[in-house]
A and B are shown apart, each in its own frame.
Chain A
Amino acid sequence: MLDLLWNGLFNVAQWKYLLPLFAGTFIGVIGGSLPGVTITMTVIVVLPFTYGLDPLAGLAAMTGVYVGGSTGGLIACCLLGIPGSPSSIATTFDGFPMARNGEPGRAIWLGVWASVWGGLLGALFLVFLTGPLAAIALEFGPWEYFSLFVLAMAMVAGLTESSLLKGLISTAIGLLITVVGHDPIGSVPRFTFGSAFIGGGFPFLPVLIGIFAFAQIMTDLEKLNSPRGQAVESLVGVRLERFSHLKVNLEIFKQPFLLAWATIVGLIIGILPAIGGSASSVMAYDQAKKFSKTPDRFGKGHPEGIIASEASNNANVSGSLMTIMAFGIPGDAVTAVMLGAMTIHGIQSGPLFISQNPDIAYGIYAAYILAHPCMLLICIVLMPLMLRVTSVRMAVLAPVVLVLCVVGAYALNNIMQSVYVLLLFGVVGYVLVKLGFPLAPLILGLILGDQIEINLVRAIMTDANPWLFLTRPISGLLLLAAAASVGLAIWQHWRHQNRLTEEEPDF
């Protein structure tokens, strides 16, 4: 294994791969630092640039965006008090107060270094645990796969912040999109209504770009020119005070338990499908506060808060990569795009991915590891530039991002149909956001829909007994966990409602 990793590192260290990795990391840091531009949007923008590259170079660029974006978000958090990307949300709680207290440099570099160490610790798990996880996945039959996918969707729907029902409906909409077109077994057209436009079904990436990037930009445009949007207290233009990298690192390593625990929280959240970096950073922050000897200092510029949040959101990346490589399930929206990019390059992700594509698998490990020093170098050299970047106006940013989204969709097959699909789902995504439907379950349903159907039909073709889904031990356990996940979400919702009722004053 270590030989393969060395080969991977040596391979990715060549200019052919290092350049896309470096460029991806740079774009990721910039994209992450721009408020309103998510990592998913950045990876979508970079996607068309990777079409012409070889698979590993393209995936290295995307891994770079992912790592860079996870860190870049902290710059806006510390200077503007608003998260550059959702995965840095908890960094705002202490990063902005610390910057306002006259220590913006300390806040930013604590975050950058915590990201590096959290990410590299996560890399250990990524390298050593992905293989065993894939070996477990190899034992799975169609029943287990079906149940695993059901569990993934139940968890995502249950963990969404808005209502469980809306999460479940959103999942169903995602699944429904995948059944439009020809059925995967007999190629019978379904729900096409005789239209050539949807005869082949909806292409995955334009739908994803439409739902995520378009809907996100339009939601941001709503806030443009609002007095509240203009009233953000900003530290842009501030000069970072002199600081010592050694001192910052000593401050981090004075808290080895915090660093390790935040990393593990991030990793676990990353492995769980489609929960994402924002949940991991908030959860790690919450854990840090619970374990801290000085919980009252949280929210007032406490370094522990920054360390926990940033170490966790970078470790989250490694967890997401593990899930995509071992099970073929995207850990979040970014890995969903990566999964799409793999398909474009003819690579099938899943339990056989590592054994069938060791060069690419270990190349991804290597790219993930090398992205961290790249990110650090970019931050050290280009911090003054990045401080300016955070003030780029949305009026300039939105049209450019939208053009790249259109090109990204069009370049998939060089047909306008993909662009029409992009626009259609841009509207659908925006409407769903406005109605309070979470998009993560929809995306997961969209990604897993085909696989769920194939595994369901395959299981029934092997043995028509439907009880096998429950009586096969792993499958049964997974379905039980799915039911428990939904049950827990209902219970939590009920408890929350009860608490609200109790707190409601009588007039």
Chain B
Amino acid sequence: MSIGRDGIAGLILLAISLVLLVKSFQLPSLPIVPVGPGFYPAIVLSFMAAASALLVLQDLLKRRPAAAAGAGEAPRRNYRLVVIAFAIVGAYVVLLPLVGFRVATVLFVGALQAALDRPRTAQQWGVLAAIALGTAMVSYFVFERYLLVLLPRGAWTGF
């Protein structure tokens, strides 16, 4: 018997549910309410723990075929690109309160475009820059000027 992806996911979820279940029993109860604040979370967490345990069991009992010869035919996934995209989004979220919406958005849109489809000619770089600037400016004017949404100001830049 070997554990698969579902089994590992089930084990993690089971651990989370059990830890929180213990926490839910420790919540203080209120004299005016017949059931305490931990009552409902305890039901949800018990349910989640039971379902997660079943998922682990189901995974353990699953007949796992040996790696098939045609396994290589599955569509190739570009996980590297996803990690890079998440990193760029993360950097954007960090930069927003530091350099402000306008600068951070220009940098973000430019960087993500370049990561997803690297420009090769000067013209392509120009298009990339225009899209980055355009996105930042249009969204700034629409939201800040027209819809009166106060977008993040930069602690470093002051705007």
Contacts and interface: CB of A to CB of B under 8 A. Distances in A.
Contact of A169 (B13, B30, B112, B147): B13
A156 B4 CA distance: 26
Contacts of B15: none
Contacts of A226: 75-78
B116 A190 contact: no
B122 interface: no
B45 interface: yes
Contacts of B72: none
A496 interface: no
- Looking at A49, A169, A179, A398, which has the most chain B CB atoms within 10 Å of its CB? A169
Interface in A388-421: 393-396, 398-400, 402-404, 406-407, 410-411, 414, 416, 419-420
Contacts of A464: 34
Nearest to A456: B40
A419 to B, nearest CB: 6
B149 A423 contact: no
A224 B116 contact: yes
Contact of A423 (B5, B28, B89, B152): B89
Most buried by B among A168, A228, A430, A456: A168
Contact of B151 (A173, A214, A225, A407): A407
Contact of B44 (A166, A176, A394, A411): A176
Contact of A222 (B37, B78, B143): B78
Contact of B81 (A163, A224, A456): A224
B79 interface: yes
A221 B81 contact: yes
Contacts of A395: 112-113, 116-117
B6 to A, nearest CB: 7
B76 A191 contact: no
Given A185-B33, A420-B93, A427-B86, A190 B41 contact: yes
A410 B152 contact: yes
B41 A49 contact: no
Contact of A176 (B27, B34, B45, B55): B45
Interface string A422-459: 01001100100001110000000000000011001100
Nearest to B57: A165
A403 B109 contact: yes
A223 B76 CA distance: 7
A223 B52 CA distance: 30
Contacts, number: 181
Interface in B84-129: 85-86, 89-90, 92-93, 96-97, 105, 108-109, 112-113, 116-117
B7 to A, nearest CB: 11
A169 to B, nearest CB: 5
A361 to B, nearest CB: 26
B141 to A, nearest CB: 12
Interface string A161-176: 0010110110011011
A191 B20 CA distance: 7
A398 B82 CA distance: 12
Task: Bin the interface of chain B by size.
Answer: 35 or more
A185 B89 CA distance: 37
A188 B30 contact: yes
Contacts of A172: 17, 44-45, 47-48, 51
Contacts of A351: none
A460 interface: yes
Contact of B40 (A52, A179, A414): A179
A406 B139 CA distance: 11
A166 B59 CA distance: 12
A186 interface: yes
Contacts of A246: none
A399 B6 CA distance: 32
Contact of A228 (B32, B75, B92): B75
A245 to B, nearest CB: 35
A49 B139 contact: no
Contacts of A175: 44
A436 B8 CA distance: 13
Given A218-B82, A396-B113, A403 B52 contact: no
Interface string A206-217: 000000001001
B142 interface: yes
B131 A179 contact: no
19 contacts: A165-B58, A166-B6, A175-B44, A176-B44, A190-B37, A190-B38, A191-B20, A191-B41, A222-B82, A223-B77, A226-B77, A406-B93, A406-B96, A416-B97, A420-B93, A426-B89, A427-B86, A430-B82, A464-B34
Closest 10 CB pairs of A and B: A395-B117, A183-B37, A172-B48, A395-B116, A52-B147, A188-B37, A399-B112, A399-B109, A186-B30, A411-B149
Given A214-B89, A227-B76, 15 more contacts: A48-B143, A49-B147, A166-B55, A183-B37, A186-B33, A393-B117, A395-B113, A399-B112, A399-B132, A403-B109, A406-B93, A407-B149, A414-B150, A452-B40, A460-B35
